[in-house]
Chains A and B, each alone.
Chain A
Amino acid sequence: MQEPSVVHSTFVIERSYPKPPERVFAAFADAAKKRRWFAESGSHDVEEFALDFRVGGAERLRYRFKEGTPFKGIVVMHEGTHQDIVTNRRVVTASTMTLGEKCISASLVTVELLATDNGTDLICTHQGAFFEGSDGPQIREAGWRHLFEQLAKELT
């Protein structure tokens, strides 16, 4: 009997920021601002980031894991499309993530901004479909060898 090849996972992260919703929303709408918190990280180098902030507009992020990480050299591609935008209230984005050559997940991310006395409460709901084991032989041949080589270099 076949087994399911998709794992579904939803998580919610909440934050409170001492700034009004307009400031928080601007960090989503402006590409230069969004790049700084969404794209940039200490563990990877950003190779491409593009943002077309409108319903139907695309968001693309491509990055490569750095030296000193177990997955040095591996490229991750995140491609999304904005599904719904309500100014200063919410941004909803549907996206896929590709690791090397393999598409590994599809996600719906809903960010809601709620005005409070102290600033803004942000609620991030991430609904993900993770594709594992759907191409076993491919994992063994391509993905496994690649990751294995990277890990081996890190662990020696």
Chain B
Amino acid sequence: MAQMNMVQALNSGMDVMLGRDPSVILMGEDIGYFGGVFRTTDGLQRKYGEHRVLDTPIAEGAIIGAAIGMGVNGLRPVAEIQFADYIYPGFDQIVSELARLRYRTAGEFFAPVTIRTPCGGGIRGGQTHSQSPEGIFTHVSGIKVIMPSNPYDAKGLLITAIEDDDPVVFFEPKRLYNGPFDGDPTKAAVPWSTHPKGEVPEGHYGVPFGKADVVRSGSDLTIVTYGTMVFVATLAAANAGVDAEIIDLRSLVPLDVDTICTSVKKTGRCVVAHEATRFSGFGAEILSVIQEECFWELEAPIQRVAGWDTPYPHAFEWQYFPGPARVQAAIRAAMEPA
């Protein structure tokens, strides 16, 4: 075991896979010599060479298109899109090609591509460095969508993604790179070394897809969340003085319906929280699943917490961000007596 922040854990995951499997290659903007703008691939080109850790031109459509061709030719490319906000030039290649290649060829061709991309706000990134577009990808048939919330899961899920024969879009909440962030920007930064999930094995291990993590057991209500909001929800529940069961989904596609529904049936109350915008957000899908599966066990309407339905504004970041106050208000509403 070693102490790692999320950047180091992701780096270790790629290091392990580059070492184990000669078909694994990394590609992306600034990832090679420089080691990535967030340092996630630091040192890997030096260790594995320019042919396996490729610096690329600034052309996301080409990065993903080429990664697909490499995947068809037996490689396991891990493509970094520098910010999730930059992923759209590659959108057609992801949605029409990567997601559907296995389907349209009846399994004869496939491309085991992992697309890593930092997402989320809270870093003064403005509207082009703060988005959480996971719901756009969960809507597409044929790709798995992952978002870890801590170093241990980040490494294990990334290794699972690289080893998976299906394409994976892997979102990294960048506000969590250096420490668990609970949504209060006035507090001093907390490093991962203070958190048990900052303990990361140095070798190979996987965290399975489709398995949510119950990060806190409780009996009053269930909070279903993922990414940065795991820590925001934990603080909000403590502030509200409720015994919340907090579920970190980790994997949005495939979705662990059993863990969500078992918990909601137990508590009878539920808040769904994500940083992404609300309208047609992934939270709506979770609400719908709970309504279908747990309707008769519910004691109050399900509450939803999300970013406002606006672009992410630079100057009003903390009024936009669904912080502890917004989650607390939702918890209070969910705790109203029936």
Task: Check if A and B associate.
Answer: no
Give chain A's interface residues, CB within 8 Å of chain B: none
Give chain B's interface residues, CB within 8 Å of chain A: none
